[in-house]
């Protein structure tokens, strides 16, 4: 288990779901992970929280006016100076979807597309730090960028967020270390050889579960789709699923 009061710059600190079926997402994820859903907040366009044991574990949002939901999970990277981070990202080739915008007393957010095409958010915490519990059952377990331009992605995130990365020998894969303690917090995969045509670079969230195969099977029974059955890897037993609207998420059972 990892607990933290406040994330350091560059560390994944939050994830939320942009879904075309809020009620369906409520049912699906609550039954799959045993989460609860708080009432949508009209002050923030109907944004809502999934909670685990009373603690926020993810966010959610439906259609935004004329903007139809894209049915995807988005991760956020922490910063202690969002204006500086957004300006640096812009200079390094990112597209700015929404610039820095304060969200009540919770924090300040921006949404970007990195130079390889992956959407992600930036979050400067004020009263809300994001995830406070990780690496527990039905909590976040890992974050991973699947990119079509591996070297460009590494250069971008190193420059903008000060990432320290470690290349895994024999693989087109690098891990990212938390500068405050050195714990590995994310990975970057060269996905160009296998991403289907039309699928852009993207960030993925892994949720920790007791049994990836059983949880994937449950996702299928609840109306989701199992894209990749659970398989053993050096990093645990992994599976990839889609919820009923097509939003991709991953499951991870850590090594014993």
- pLDDT digits 0-9 by tens, 90-126: 999 999 999 999 999 999 999 999 999 999 999 999 9
Report the CATH number that the domain containing residue 226 is assigned in CATH: 3.10.180.10
- Same domain? For 246 and 138 the reply is yes
State which of 125, 156, 188 marks the end of a domain.
125
Same domain flag for 138 and 241 = yes
- Both 150 and 197 in one domain: the answer is yes
Domain count, the chain: 2
Instruction: Assess whether 168 and 248 both reside in one domain.
Output: yes
Mean pLDDT throughout 15-20? 97
- Ranges of beta strands (E only) in the chain are 2-3, 12-18, 36-37, 48-52, 55-61, 72-78, 95-103, 107-113, 119-125, 133-134, 140-147, 164-167, 173-177, 184-190, 202-208, 225-233, 236-242, 248-253
pTM for this structure? Answer: 0.95
Residues 7 and 121 in one domain: yes
- The two three-digit tokens of residue 20, written as one number: 């075309």
Say whether both 220 and 108 belong to one domain.
no
Higher pLDDT, 64 or 19: 19
* Domain boundary pick from 88, 104, 125: 125
Domain-ending residue, one of 125, 152, 178: 125
**Residue 204 structural domain:** 133-253
Q: How far is CA 214 from the centre of its chain?
A: 22
Query: pLDDT confidence of 181, banded at 50, 70, 90?
Result: confident
Give the per-residue pLDDT at 1.
61
Residues 120, 137: one domain? no
């Amino acid at each position: 288990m990892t607990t933290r009061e406040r994330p350091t710059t560059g560390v994944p600190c939050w994830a939320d779901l942009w879904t075309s079926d809020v009620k369906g997402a409520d049912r699906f994820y609550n039954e799959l992970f045993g989460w609860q859903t708080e009432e949508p907040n009209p002050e923030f366009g109907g944004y809502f929280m999934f909670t685990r044991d009373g603690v926020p574990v993810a966010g959610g949002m439906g259609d935004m006016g004329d903007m139809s939901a894209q049915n995807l999970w988005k991760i956020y990277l922490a910063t202690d100076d969002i204006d500086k981070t957004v300006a640096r990202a812009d200079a390094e080739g990112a597209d700015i979807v929404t610039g820095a915008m304060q969200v009540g007393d919770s924090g300040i957010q921006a949404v970007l597309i990195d130079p390889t095409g992956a959407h992600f958010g930036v979050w400067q915490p004020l009263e809300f730090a994001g995830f406070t519990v990780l690496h527990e059952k039905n909590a976040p377990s890992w974050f991973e960028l699947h990119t079509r331009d591996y070297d460009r992605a590494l250069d971008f995130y190193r420059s903008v967020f000060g990432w320290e990365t470690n290349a895994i020998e024999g693989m087109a894969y690098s891990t990212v270390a938390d500068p405050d303690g050195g714990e590995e917090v994310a990975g970057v995969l060269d996905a160009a050889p296998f991403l289907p045509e039309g699928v852009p670079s993207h960030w993925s969230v892994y949720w920790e579960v007791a049994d990836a195969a059983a949880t994937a099977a449950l996702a299928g029974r609840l109306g989701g789709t199992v894209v990749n059955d659970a398989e053993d890897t050096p990093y645990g037993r992994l599976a990839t699923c889609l919820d009923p609207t097509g939003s991709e998420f991953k499951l991870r059972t850590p090594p014993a």
